[in-house]
Structure 1
Amino acid sequence: MTAAYTLYAKPGFTATTIERLCAEARISNRAFYECFGSQEELLQAVHERCVEESLAAVAKAVQEAPDTLGGRVTAGIRAYIEFIAADWRRARIMHVEVRRSGDILTTSRQRAIDAFARLVQEASADFPPAAPLNRRLVALGVVGALQELLIEWLLTDDQPPIDELVDTAVHIFIRSLSTPDTDG
């Protein structure tokens, strides 16, 4: 798993052979197949571990946040971005390689997006919505916006500071989820 975590982040899943993975992990090909049925199965396990760990970090931050929409949103976004940014490998697997892997992670990616959207819905449920819109669709939209901000952060040569990324994401979430009198 550790070797996959590094190699799937760079050079990337499609550039990583089982032979290279086994050499990096110092195991035989046979040992690999005793643990995983395929390289795709290993990628899914690595991705799902990253998602589970980040969901736990965000849920904890939201639970400990001030009981305002702004407090919950800020705490959750900061926790997610800092957790992702703390390890470039996790960031690349969750936001770049998940897309480059094609159909391999489609189901895993959709489960992750759904879990984050549910977390957004739960965190904002106590507050009036910004408009009479479907909360699930709004939650999916803001999760997608955050993903795109992180992809930009990962792939650009001139990375914006983490605080700027957090502030931008918080602005998008608050404006999407709240009425003007509930965004504090």
Structure 2
Amino acid sequence: MSSSRVYGGMTAVERGRQRRTQLLVAAVTLLGTRGAAATTVTAVCSEAGLTSRYFYEQFPDRDALLRGVADDVFATLEATLVGAMQSGVDDFGVLARAPIDALIRLVDNDRILARIIFVESGAEPILRALRNDTVSRMTNLLVDKVSNLFPIRDSALPIMQLTATMMVSGMSDVLRRWLDNEIDMSADQVAEHTTALFAGAAAYAMTLAAPTGD
């Protein structure tokens, strides 16, 4: 006999999944509007319209909840960037513009998600660790993409790694400041100028990284 009893058209497992989603959505809302410090178990339960009993059925503690939020948020960020990268492009400015545009659209259209990624992730250790991991993966992806498109000496890979790290980390800080209105530019202006800066940095790195012909 099945142990999945049906209540109100839903099994117990389905109800559990629904409550988990409610709690994650509530945590995202609180993180993106009131900040990490205000995202307590009590506040999340209140936002989700659930009691703490249901919280602890889904998550052992607040850290586990935040880890679940971070996994979803940074997976969305990574998918956005990877999905926008074009194949068969041999111009770095063109290569960079599509993911930059996609990232800025994501930030501009979903400020709650953006604040979690670029602002609140600096205030919460679990979010910060996952942000750093995402930055590292994006940096390595950028180096791999460039290495597949352009001839690069093995000895010059550290230069490319340094350049990619500066690009990815710098872009993260630019978007954080833009969200806080410290950078007075439109989305199109940010995309245009950061793309040009990326292309300039890449051109410099390529002059050092290209094979010498020896």
Counterpart mapping for 1:15-26 below 5 A: 15-26=38-49
What's the CA shift string for 1:92-135, capped at 9, x where partnerless?
A: 0000000011x233421221111111222133221356x87522
Change (3 A) 1:31 1:5: same
The alignment status of 1:50 with 2:73, answered yes or no, reads yes
The correspondence for 1:122, drawn from 144, 151, 161, is 144
The correspondence for 1:12, drawn from 32, 35, 43, is 35
Matching residue of 1:80:
103
Change (3 A) 1:132 1:4: closer
The alignment status of 1:97 with 2:97, answered yes or no, reads no
* Structure 1: runs of 5 or more not aligned: none
Matching residue of 2:3:
none
Q: Distance in 2 between matches of 1:92 and 1:137?
A: 26
Higher relative contact order (CA 8 A, sep 6+): 1
Q: Distance in 1 between matches of 2:33 and 2:185?
A: 21
Matching residue of 2:58:
35
Change (3 A) 1:64 1:155: same
Aligned residues: CA RMSD: 2.4
CA contact (8 A) 1:95 1:147 kept: yes
Report the structure number with the largest CA radius of gyration: 2
TM-score normalised to the size of structure 2? 0.75
Report the Cα offset of residue 17 of structure 1.
2.0
CA contact (8 A) 2:85 2:99 kept: yes
Q: Distance in 2 between matches of 1:156 and 1:84?
A: 13
Q: Distance in 2 between matches of 1:45 and 1:160?
A: 33
Identity %: 28
* Structure 2: runs of 5 or more not aligned: 1-23, 208-214
Count of residues in correspondence between the two structures: 180
